């Protein structure tokens, strides 16, 4: 109405805006009748919305991600030879690619894990091919005078797309579809400037890689491999730790299970090695070496799926303690789900490695009831990978910020993602962690480039001490005060002593991550983080201290149980299993496809739809009852009985059901015997 339009003009004027323009805009985009309702909202946010509308075309252009091959001029300037080494686990894919890498004048290996980069670094130097190591937090130059070697083994995020190489190896290419890290494989695949690019991984990625290379005008030569050693899914479960044999590896998806199992194993007089994601790399390597060493009495490994990709360990038999793994869904919620076929294949594939003393692998579960599900998972067919991850670059976000100077970094990322256009072969990676950090440091004055780098720091947002450290680092940085060694020691209370209980161990792991964060930032802002070499020294010391803790893990568990009334181990329920850095993150392998056909000898095909079930293996709490168990874990009689093995989860559930019925019947148990027992006492029994 005329009146309203005048009113809108007046209100707009009061806010320094053109009220009529806003009304007209709303009229053009809203249903009739909604303009009045929306006007006040638009007026409030007009300063943000209208500049964006003004430059919408520019923003669309900047966030146009339809031609990623064009982002890498060095790679586009040469014609690369692309070789895809495809096959199941333990088929020699990486081996063949590495042979070519070692023979070349120069080469780069890009792997998904620090441990794998380390394995190739070692292998190359052992073969008298000098090779450097580059991860987010570490640069090892083998040359005494600090010159770069012609070969480098790195974590995939760290590969250079501007340095020319004769041979590049990209390992575990199926990770290109990882929701968080996929972009790093896409970047390596499109951007490595090498005469030959050797890609290793699951056959499910062949079609996508071929299509991506079609867009760069490069042909893909596919070499298929078969498993080098047989692997069998056993028809029986382990059932009891008394049945353990040398070369067994128990895989858990819960850190508390690791602690609990290692204690039970050592109580049987057996030594065991422990590997989980949040241990420092040095500790992981030492534990792996100990387990691999034929002369070491330690013949049992308890691990999370941190061992699940590409690694060569002396494992004869993989025993899944559980098939349920926590994961974070797209909404950021925690979900408990059965592991995917790809995950199961990757983990199983650690058994019976060609290079180990065990030439035949075996796979089974801890509990008999899980065996059918394991076979079902392993026999599911795996769909081909269809899309590759992409991530907005710092330059793109900077250009956005130029057009939208008032928006926060987190908003810029949101707007970028929602406006971005991608080709059907790509998807934009999950940016939640980035946004989490952006929001956390939003109030600290930093220029955009610095802010962007801080937000790409590969830390685990579930570790409060690491998050607050990042915040403190950022604050100190914004004051332009260099973060010195002394400052860091004060912040972390260094020097630290060996852990007395599991809680201490968990804290030491977090401090190790804070040192990692310092080193990671020191490679990006050398002036502000000047004491990298001192920090590296104390980090090594800390790694040793943690190793002492892990060696004495049984003692630590006992100490933790003694200090806790309930006997529960004092580890927060949501404490991360994974190491925090991106390039060593325990991977969120959300349904990664795999070529599983024909990998297992006596696998029984069990058709049927996906089922989600818990495991009842030792020390394991089924997913469905986990939340209810929280209070119990903190000290109930039921939890104590379960821990002591006097009560199983099934018995507990049965009791719960009976109590429920009992309660509903005003205290009378419905079953014969109990009815008889209670009958004469009437309904007086209260829960």
Ligand X SMILES: Nc1ncnc2c1ncn2[C@@H]1O[C@H](COP(=O)(O)OP(=O)(O)OP(=O)(O)O)[C@@H](O)[C@H]1O
Residues lying near ligand X in the complex (CB under 6 A) are found at 87, 89-95, 200, 228, 310, 312, 349, 353-355
Report the distance separating Cα 276 and Cα 86, nearest Å. 28
CB 165 within 8 A of CB 194: yes
Q: How far is the CB of 157 from Mg ion (least distance, A)?
A: 18
Cα-based distances in Å from 355 to 188, 304, 316, 348: 28, 22, 12, 16
94 binds Mg ion (CB under 5 A): yes
Residue 503: name its binding partner from Mg ion, ligand X, none (Cβ under 5 to 8 Å by kind).
none
- Which two tokens mark 15? 């806010």
Give the gyration radius of the chain's Cα atoms: 28
> Quick one: 359 or 611, whose CB is closer to ligand X?
359
Instruction: Give the three-class secondary structure for 160.
Output: coil
Query: Which residue has 């990671």 as its token pair?
Result: 520
Residue 30: name its binding partner from Mg ion, ligand X, none (Cβ under 5 to 8 Å by kind).
none
Q: Which residues of 394-423 are buried (b: 16+ CB within 10 A; e: fewer)?
A: eebbebbbebbeebbbbbbbebbeebbebb
Among residues 182, 247, 310, 392, the one that binds Mg ion under rule CB under 5 A: 310
> Quick one: 63 or 599, whose CB is closer to ligand X?
599
Residue 90: name its binding partner from ligand X, Mg ion, none (Cβ under 5 to 8 Å by kind).
ligand X
Query: φ, ψ for residue 320 (rounded to 5)?
Result: -80, 115
254 binds Mg ion (CB under 5 A): no
With CB under 5 A as the contact rule, which of the stretches 31-39, 117-125, 302-310, 500-508 interacts with Mg ion? 302-310
Report the distance separating Cα 199 and Cα 222, nearest Å. 9
With CB under 5 A as the contact rule, which of the stretches 157-165, 245-253, 306-314, 676-684 interacts with Mg ion? 306-314
> Quick one: 93 or 299, whose CB is closer to Mg ion?
93
Q: How far is the CB of 280 from ligand X (least distance, A)?
A: 23
> Quick one: 68 or 87, whose CB is closer to Mg ion?
87
Overall size of the chain counted in residues: 687
Report the distance separating Cα 546 and Cα 535, nearest Å. 16
What's CA 167's distance to the chain center, in Å? 28
CB 404 within 8 A of CB 412: yes
> Quick one: 209 or 429, whose CB is closer to Mg ion?
209
Q: How far is the CB of 501 from Mg ion (least distance, A)?
A: 38
Q: How many CB atoms sit inside 10 A of residue 234's CB? A: 16
Q: Binding marks (x or -) toward Mg ion, 151..190, rule CB under 5 A?
A: ----------------------------------------
Q: How far is the CB of 319 from Mg ion (least distance, A)?
A: 22
> Quick one: 200 or 568, whose CB is closer to ligand X?
200
> Quick one: 96 or 621, whose CB is closer to ligand X?
96
Report the distance separating Cα 605 and Cα 370, nearest Å. 15
- Beta-carbon-side half-sphere exposure of residue 128 (alpha carbons within 13 Å): 0
Name which of 118, 116, 121 is nearest 152 in CA terms.
121
> Quick one: 261 or 382, whose CB is closer to ligand X?
382
Q: How far is the CB of 286 from ligand X (least distance, A)?
A: 19
111 binds Mg ion (CB under 5 A): no
Continuous segment of H or E residues that includes residue 675: helix 672-679
> Quick one: 92 or 247, whose CB is closer to Mg ion?
92
CB 536 within 8 A of CB 519: yes
Q: How far is the CB of 350 from ligand X (least distance, A)?
A: 7
- Which two tokens mark 599? 């990998």
> Quick one: 97 or 508, whose CB is closer to ligand X?
97
Q: How far is the CB of 127 from ligand X (least distance, A)?
A: 11
Residue 353: name its binding partner from ligand X, Mg ion, none (Cβ under 5 to 8 Å by kind).
ligand X
Residue 355: name its binding partner from Mg ion, ligand X, none (Cβ under 5 to 8 Å by kind).
ligand X
Report the distance separating Cα 306 and Cα 364, nearest Å. 18
Q: How far is the CB of 310 from Mg ion (least distance, A)?
A: 4
Q: How far is the CB of 123 from ligand X (least distance, A)?
A: 8
Cα-based distances in Å from 37 to 10, 17, 27, 40, 84: 17, 18, 11, 7, 58
Q: How far is the CB of 202 from ligand X (least distance, A)?
A: 8
Residue 349: name its binding partner from Mg ion, ligand X, none (Cβ under 5 to 8 Å by kind).
ligand X
Query: Which residue has 């039970």 as its token pair?
Result: 264
> Quick one: 95 or 640, whose CB is closer to ligand X?
95
Q: How far is the CB of 150 from ligand X (least distance, A)?
A: 22
Cα-based distances in Å from 534 to 140, 326, 485, 515, 537: 15, 37, 7, 10, 5
Instruction: List residues near Mg ion by CB under 5 A.
Output: 94, 310
């Amino acid at each position: 109405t005329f009146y309203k339009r005048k009113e809108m003009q007046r209100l707009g004027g009061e806010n320094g805006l053109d009220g009529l323009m806003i009304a007209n805009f709303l009229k053009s985009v809203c249903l009739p009748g909604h303009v009045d309702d929306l006007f006040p909202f638009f007026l409030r946010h007009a300063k943000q919305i209208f500049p964006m509308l003004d430059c919408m075309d520019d923003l669309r252009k900047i966030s146009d991600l339809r031609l990623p091959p064009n982002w890498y001029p060095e790679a586009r300037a040469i014609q690369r030879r692309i070789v895809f080494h495809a096959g199941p686990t333990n088929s020699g894919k990486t081996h063949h690619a590495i042979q070519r890498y070692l023979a070349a004048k120069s080469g780069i290996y890009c792997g998904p894990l620090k441990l794998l980069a380390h394995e190739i670094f070692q292998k190359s130097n052992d073969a008298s091919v000098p090779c450097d190591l580059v991860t987010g937090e570490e640069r090892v130059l083998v040359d005494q005078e600090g010159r770069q070697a012609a070969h480098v083994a790195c974590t995939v995020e760290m590969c250079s797309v501007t340095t020319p190489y004769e041979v590049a190896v990209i390992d575990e290419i199926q990770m290109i579809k990882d929701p968080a890290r996929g972009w790093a494989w896409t970047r390596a695949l499109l951007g490595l400037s090498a005469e030959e690019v050797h890609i290793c991984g699951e056959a499910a990625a062949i079609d996508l890689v071929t299509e991506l290379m079609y867009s760069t005008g490069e042909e893909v030569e596919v070499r298929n491999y078969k498993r080098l050693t047989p692997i069998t899914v056993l028809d029986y479960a382990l059932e009891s730790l008394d049945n353990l044999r040398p070369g067994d590896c128990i895989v858990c998806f819960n850190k508390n299970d690791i602690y609990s199992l290692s204690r039970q194993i050592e109580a049987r007089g057996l030594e065991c090695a422990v590997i989980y994601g949040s241990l420092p790399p040095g500790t992981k390597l030492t534990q792996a070496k100990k387990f691999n060493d034929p002369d070491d009495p330690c013949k049992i490994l308890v691990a999370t799926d941190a061992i699940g990709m590409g690694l060569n360990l002396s494992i004869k038999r993989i025993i899944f303690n559980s098939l349920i793994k926590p994961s974070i869904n797209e909404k950021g919620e925690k979900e408990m789900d059965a592991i995917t076929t790809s995950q199961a294949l990757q983990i199983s594939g650690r058994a019976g490695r060609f290079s180990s003393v065990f030439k035949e692998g075996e796979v089974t579960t801890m509990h008999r009831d899980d065996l059918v599900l394991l076979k079902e998972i392993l026999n599911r067919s795996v769909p081909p990978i269809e899309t590759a991850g992409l991530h907005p670059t710092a330059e793109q976000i900077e250009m956005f910020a130029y057009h939208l100077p008032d928006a926060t970094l987190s908003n810029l990322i949101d707007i970028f993602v929602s406006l971005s256009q991608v080709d059907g072969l790509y998807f934009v990676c999950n940016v939640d962690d980035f946004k989490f950090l952006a929001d956390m440091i939003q109030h600290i004055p930093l220029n955009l480039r610095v802010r962007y780098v801080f937000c790409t720091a590969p830390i685990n947002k579930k570790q409060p001490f690491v998050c607050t450290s990042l915040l403190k680092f950022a604050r100190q940085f914004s004051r332009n005060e260099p973060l010195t060694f002394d400052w860091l020691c004060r912040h972390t209370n260094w020097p630290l002593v060996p852990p007395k209980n599991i809680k201490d161990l968990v804290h030491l792991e977090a401090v190790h991550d804070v040192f990692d964060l310092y080193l990671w930032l020191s490679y990006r802002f050398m002036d502000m983080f000047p004491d990298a070499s001192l920090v590296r020294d104390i980090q090594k010391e800390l790694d040793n201290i943690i190793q002492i803790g892990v060696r004495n893990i049984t003692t630590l568990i006992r100490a933790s149980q003694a200090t806790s009334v309930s006997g529960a181990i004092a580890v927060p329920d949501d404490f991360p299993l994974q190491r925090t850095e991106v390039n060593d993150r325990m991977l969120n392998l959300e349904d990664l496809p795999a070529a599983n056909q024909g990998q297992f000898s006596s696998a029984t095909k069990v058709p049927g739809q996906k089922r989600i079930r818990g495991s009842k293996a030792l020390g394991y709490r089924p997913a469905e009852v986990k939340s209810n168990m929280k209070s119990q874990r903190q000290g109930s009689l039921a939890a104590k009985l379960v821990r002591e093995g006097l009560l199983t989860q099934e018995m507990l559930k049965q009791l719960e059901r009976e109590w429920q019925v009992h309660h509903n019947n005003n205290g009378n148990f419905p079953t014969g015997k109990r009815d008889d027992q209670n009958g004469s006492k009437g309904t007086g029994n209260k829960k």
